[in-house]
Amino acid sequence: MSGISSRLDDLTRAFGVPGAALAVWARGELSEAASGVVNIETHVPATPDTLFQIGSITKLYTAAICLQLVEEGRLALDEPVRTWLPEFSVADAGASARITLRDLLTHRSGIEGDFFKDAGRGEDRIARFVGMLGTLGQVHAPGAMFSYCNTGFVIAGRLIEVAGGEPWDKAVRRRIVKPLGTPAFSTLPEQAMRYLTAIGHLSTGDRLFVSPIAYLAQSNAPAGSMPMARARDVIAFARMLMNGGAAQDGTRILSPESVRAMHEMNVTCPPRMNIDAIGLATFLWDWDGDGRYETFGHDGSTIGQAAWLRYHPASGTAMALLTNGGNGKGLAQAIIGEIFSTHAGIAPPAPPAPTPGLALDLARYAGRYANVMETVEVAVEGGQLIATTISSPDFAVISGGGKRVALAPVEPSLFVGTPPGMTLPATYHFLEADEEGRPLILHTGVRAHRRIAS
């Protein structure tokens, strides 16, 4: 694929990304490129062999192992979690008894999703984490809506350990990494240090700096806190899914039925969000607007690193982009559009834009909306809505709070605003009005925030 390296260089500089690695599978050929540096202090160049943190793309691996165990009769998607974890408990007793594996894998359990308390290290760290959830609340009732839930995938990781009889890390290596032939894929720092690795970068204003925290709590690994990979490793996983669950050498990793289950809609997202629907862990998109989901993948974000996977089975096109800071979302949007329009004849639609002249009673949207990670204060200032995000003390590095974003209406339930330092607008959905017409839920950043004050 000619020009991929120079194009990545140009876009990386344009979007202020310190380093990036890109792998593309198209027309039966793998192309790779890398740009920038793994660390702005050491100036070591990034290469296609560099490991970046893939963040929540890990959730696809966790879901695949769960489905392997379903195929083996050791787990079931629609049985309560307590079938295998009798001690499982969150603050809501009814939710504790009802939540199923499917709820966990589709982000519809309603459990507060960003509980990042560190349960330490060791092979029992995931069990210890799940044991800490007894006081964790709900942002909504199980099954009521989609709200991104890291916590649920750590619970799914514990189900893998109990039903499969081995620690999650070993299950990933034995069941996915080795059959795929991607040995550099690392779930622990002592594995990753054998390779060239990228560090994340954060920003204050216009200045980037190396993140003081290399990775999130290891106990959250099944949700994506630690795993690192080469871009080509992620492409190998996507190719397996596009090949009906078989690795390149024919090794069967998933049944075709399990792959179809990953790609079937379980819950839809708020309209015109940056994700259309959720399968089993998988993000689903209907880019051509024909009512069918034809593009799949996942995004990942850790401290100062971000990753994107997209694949289009009908054309056999897949793309993995891994970055370590800066405006990665702008970079990803540009690259995804170029690759899929060229090789698949399809591309994501433009983000929603404000509707000129739309007059609304802005006062009814004002209020404080919160989840465990952050509070969003929405106020009317100078005839427009301003949303200010305030991180909870434990999550300041993760959430990046303190942002003030001016919101413009697209329709009565949807506003858009561009966060500082970004080039793409974020969506703000105001949902479930009370008897006075005030929204009860603010859905932004793929998460539900419940109104807590006017």
Residue 84: alpha-carbon gap to chain centroid: 26
Query: Who's near 90: CB < 8 A, 6+ residues apart?
Result: 96, 99, 111, 133, 134, 136, 137, 138
Residue 296's beta-bridge partner residues?
284, 311
Secondary element (H or E) of residue 368: strand 367-370
CA distance 78 to 105: 11
User: Distances in Å between the alpha carbon of 27 and those of 155, 234, 240, 295?
Assistant: 38, 17, 16, 16
Tokens read off for 140: 């909504």
CA distance 331 to 302: 17
Residue 317's beta-bridge partner residues?
312
Tokens read off for 160: 């893998």
CA distance 411 to 7: 36
Residue closest to 372 by CA, chosen among 128, 110, 125 = 110
Query: Who's near 370: CB < 8 A, 6+ residues apart?
Result: 376, 449, 450, 452
Q: Report the DSSP pairing between strands 414-417 and 404-411.
A: antiparallel
CA distance 442 to 148: 13
User: Distances in Å between the alpha carbon of 122 and those of 103, 217, 222, 382?
Assistant: 27, 12, 14, 53
Catalytic residue check, 6: no
The angle, 0 to 180 degrees and rounded to 10, between the axes of the packed helices 58-71 and 150-164 is 40
Which one of the listed residues 31, 35, 56, 147 is annotated catalytic? 56
User: Distances in Å between the alpha carbon of 259 and those of 78, 207, 243?
Assistant: 17, 43, 9
Sort 80 into a burial class: Cβ within 10 Å, 0-12 / 13-18 / 19+.
middle
Sequential DSSP letters for 88-133 = ---S-HHHHHH-BHHHHHTT-S-B-S-------SSTTHHHHHHTTG
**What residues act catalytically?**
56
